[in-house]
Amino acid sequence: MGKIVCKSCGSRNSIRLEYGMPDDAMISRIEAGEVMHGGCVVAGLTQDFYCLDCNAKFDKVSSDMFMKGLSMIKFKLSRTEKHRPVVHQWQLDFSHDGNRELNGFTMHYQFYDEEELKTDKKGVFIADMHEVKRQIEEIGLEYWLEEYHGEPDVKNEEWILELRTSDYPMGVSIKKGYHHRPYTMVKWCRLLKKFNLSDKLFRTIE
Ligand SMILES: [Zn+2]
């Protein structure tokens, strides 16, 4: 059993994946339940771990292919706060000016309170991109499942995440949640909130 924490559900109940045509040694590892066979043909992306609780395939951090190709992240969170429906919406653009090495990214944040636009903030976020990327890499948005479902509660939370990547198997991937959050979403929301609050690092574009 793996000890690493699943990015999708937080479980430690995962098993290592092995790819390729199994030889005798691999077959005995599979039979002993030490590893799981990930497939014979290694095409594109492979992950090292398979979560036995939520079926997510994941690695300790996001793949280089994903991080290099990542050009845009959209995230919309709709929920009930103080008995009122609110919407938080972020768009992070990492490819402005066609230069990914640029030391910053554009962020557009909107906040709706009962369908009324209360905050509309757009600007260039001048940040330590190395640190920002390290945090995104660790959150592993890449490994979230396509859909999460839970029982409706007072927060009545729904969210949608859109990831745009180039030179990566999925050019655009959409992930959604209904009254349920992936394990690393707390970290993700904390990071976004930090961006929202850091006015010093934020240069507004009108
Ligand atoms: Zn899991």
> Tell me, what's the pLDDT at 200?
64
Closest residue by Cα to residue 13 from 56, 46, 45: 56
Q: What domains are there in the chain, each with its CATH number?
A: 14-58 (no CATH), 64-204 (3.30.1560)
Q: What is the pLDDT of residue 175?
A: 98
Strand partners, 106: 93, 124
Looking at residue 204, what is its pLDDT?
A: 65
Distance in angstroms (rounded) separating the CA atoms of residues 65 and 166: 9
CA distance 6 to 139: 10
Residues with CB under 5 A from ligand 1 (ion): 6, 8-9, 11, 51, 53-54, 56
pLDDT attached to residue 158? 97
CA 57–ligand 1 middle distance (angstroms): 8
- Report the C-alpha gap between 188 and 33 in whole angstroms: 33
The pTM of this model reads 0.89
Give the per-residue pLDDT at 103: 63
The string of DSSP codes covering 67-107 is HHHEEEEEEEEEEEETTEEEEEEEEEES-GGG-TTSS-EEE
12 CA from centroid of ligand 1 (Å): 8
Question: What pLDDT score does 3 carry?
Answer: 75
pLDDT of residue 45: 82
* pLDDT lower than 70: segments of the chain: 1-2, 41-43, 96-103, 199-206
- Determine the distance separating the centroid of ligand 1 and the alpha carbon of 139, expressed in angstroms: 14
